[in-house]
Structure 1
């Protein structure tokens, strides 16, 4: 039990900015570098990151459930739904430190702005944001807002299913990172992502956890979302292998965002009337 607690604590420090230990000050690097500094300053940082991947969907599910419940509270307090969702997306940025969004922006700048492997990796490490990064950040924010709004307005979802839809989508988004880890290799010999290397067997527990979150939404929509997450992970693995030789922490963050948005789209399209 203590081992699982330490692994969860390490995953929590990696994926959120809610402190369980004192975080370092003066962070000004990329999202991957900031996460690495936070873990290095934490007593939980001694746990190998590869052992924490089972907890990533759990933490994602908790964030998604919190988001849904906060939307409900705001709506009950008289806030318009679209405005409530906007505030909840902002609250998520505070909880996670916009870690995945930062990764998406850096990945977009590097993959689409660099002309060769070395330049792409250098751009991803640069804390400055370019045009592709800005567009990716807008896409991530508007995508999350519109997807949450669509889920909340899906007629076939009751209140409980809506909560689980947001929780399941966030869990499957983090599962996408685990799947990518099992399908590819680190692009660098240093950095946070270079410390994580797992086999496909390590995806079983995270997948079962993600499935458990989605059962209330429906078996068929959840199965479709899990299949989509594998396909997206495979596509990202092949594309990044060709562009930069593997994954980085920024690529993992981008995968989480894209997979979560794809899952929300599937849930909204299929509704809550499936098995």
Structure 2
């Protein structure tokens, strides 16, 4: 396969993993490699975030209250991703909150039903994202950076941690090549430095790293490693924290 063919296959793998968008036209028959595709994850996250932010501004320009515009924008993102990360957050909260031991926690996380811990975590995450997106002076920039850093945090955890079980997404990911990981981590950092004031960009990157480290440590203590649900929860939690930082300046006048 040519260099361009591999890049197209990587992009198709990243889009196919993180969204519900069709990718058959992009792969051109190339073999998918999820580990190698990690460099595309922040690009997909930034594209999704920018789409949501533009929706906020567009709907607000049509006369909707910014809070309502932000709610519709978050709903659009959930439609595009199939609620993949939100599902992971809810499952992780249920498992970590309701399980007595490692085996029980992993079993609860596999259960498609949502419990009280998952409902509370999901409700709070959606509330924070909507309010923060509405308060951000430039929602397209804020949501793009948040989306990129959230997916980069996923890539970092995949490289740093071992899977908690022998099956599932975390176990299915092959060893991530170092060049792909470097591109995964550097792309959203560069975007943050380019689009945000230096101080705010540094805050966003540090917040993303701290959230990923804390959730990784929590997952190691709770279930002994990484799962796909932990990855999804990481993306959502990073998104919430980075968007909250972006909203500190208050809504635009």
Deviations 1:58-99, CA, capped at 9 Å, x for gaps: 000001111111112112222221111111111111101010
Deviations 1:27-86, CA, capped at 9 Å, x for gaps: xxxxxxxxxxxxxxx987941211111111000000111111111211222222111111
Counterparts in 2 of 1:203 and 1:228: CA distance versus 1, 3 Å: farther
Matches within 5 A, 1:1-275: 1-21=4-24, 46-152=31-137, 161-196=138-173, 197-198=175-176, 202-214=180-192, 215-269=194-248
Counterpart CA distance in 2 for 1:43 and 1:110 is 39
The answer on whether the counterparts of 1:89 and 1:145 sit within 8 Å (CA) in structure 2 is yes
The answer on whether the counterparts of 1:170 and 1:260 sit within 8 Å (CA) in structure 2 is yes
Secondary structure, counterpart of 1:185 in structure 2: coil
Cα shift at 1:173: 1.0
More divergent stretch after superposition (221-230 vs 196-205) = 196-205
Counterparts in 2 of 1:170 and 1:181: CA distance versus 1, 3 Å: same
The answer on whether the counterparts of 2:9 and 2:31 sit within 8 Å (CA) in structure 1 is no
Counterpart CA distance in 2 for 1:173 and 1:90 is 18
Alignment root-mean-square deviation, CA: 2.1
Cα shift at 1:231: 1.9
The answer on whether the counterparts of 1:61 and 1:213 sit within 8 Å (CA) in structure 2 is no
Cα shift at 1:269: 2.8
Unaligned 5+ residue runs, structure 2? none
Counterpart CA distance in 1 for 2:203 and 2:47 is 21
The answer on whether the counterparts of 2:36 and 2:177 sit within 8 Å (CA) in structure 1 is no
Counterpart CA distance in 2 for 1:81 and 1:93 is 18
The answer on whether the counterparts of 1:104 and 1:253 sit within 8 Å (CA) in structure 2 is yes
Secondary structure, counterpart of 1:61 in structure 2: helix
Counterpart CA distance in 1 for 2:209 and 2:30 is 29
Cα shift at 1:198: 3.2
The answer on whether the counterparts of 1:53 and 1:206 sit within 8 Å (CA) in structure 2 is yes
Secondary structure, counterpart of 1:198 in structure 2: coil
Counterpart CA distance in 2 for 1:218 and 1:165 is 12
The answer on whether the counterparts of 2:89 and 2:236 sit within 8 Å (CA) in structure 1 is yes
Counterparts in 2 of 1:112 and 1:46: CA distance versus 1, 3 Å: farther
Using structure 2 for the length normalisation, give the TM-score. 0.90
Q: Number of aligned residue pairs: give it.
A: 244
The answer on whether the counterparts of 1:184 and 1:247 sit within 8 Å (CA) in structure 2 is yes
